[in-house]
Amino acid sequence: MDALHIAGIRFAEALQSGPPWLEKFWISVTSLADPKSVFTVCFPLAYFLDRKVGVSVLWIGLVSEWLNVVLKWFLFGERPFWWVHESGLASKELVTLRQFPVSCETGPGDPSGHCMITGAALWPLVTALTALASRRSRSLAAKLSPFGAYALLLLAVGLSRVFVLAHFPHQVVGGILAGAALGWGLQARTLAACTSGFFIAAALALLLSSLALHSLVIAAGIDIDW
């Protein structure tokens, strides 16, 4: 893993050595793509456009947020900002990295929550826009434009997370793939007709299962809060 981590550090150095105007861009992207935006921005907009799509965005966002935490408990994953010092690399080689206010994230880093949760939650919205574009236009470019924008957005989010030293590139790739797979797998299961009681019960089940899993892992002698 050290070789993979070192390659990631060098990639982050290359990103940070870019034009000064890109710094503000990457920081803006990583701030706007915070998973909270799924619930405060994406869900209300999607719900306004179509109730079914809005509920799917909210549901998938909730499940992906839960699954991301669980995956991090088992995959762990170093954070570049901390690893470069804890590994001793900074004392052995010249490392030219800059710190930003959003760099000092703690906790496991694999997979990237920004990429996974955003990628999963936006999937039903993207597929709905693709279907709408297909009905309105015969142009292949128009039909594929929603997925093109989706791919570019996730690429930008992933690069921004590497830029601010919150994640290594492989954690970003894992987050994007996991998010897209989760969105694809869940969006076909329509939940718009479910009662509010179902969602309350599901939320409680996710909460209690995560607490139980946390206790079991701690009892097994694994410090997931390292």
Coil, strand or helix: which one is 76?
coil
Distance CA 28, CA 201 (A): 36
DSSP string over 102-135 = T----S--SS-HHHHHHHHHTHHHHHHHHHHHHH
* Catalytic residue of the set 5, 114, 170, 214: 114
Active site residue 214: no
Query: Are the C-beta atoms of 102 and 31 separated by less than 8 Å?
Result: yes
* The residue to which tokens 């574009």 are assigned: 133
The answer to whether 47 and 197 have CB atoms below 8 angstroms apart is no
Token readout for 55 is 């509920």
Q: Is 167 a catalytic residue?
A: yes
**198 touches 58 (CB < 8 A):** no
Query: Letter for the amino acid at 215?
Result: S
Name the active-site residue from 5, 167, 170, 214.
Answer: 167
Active site residues: 114, 167
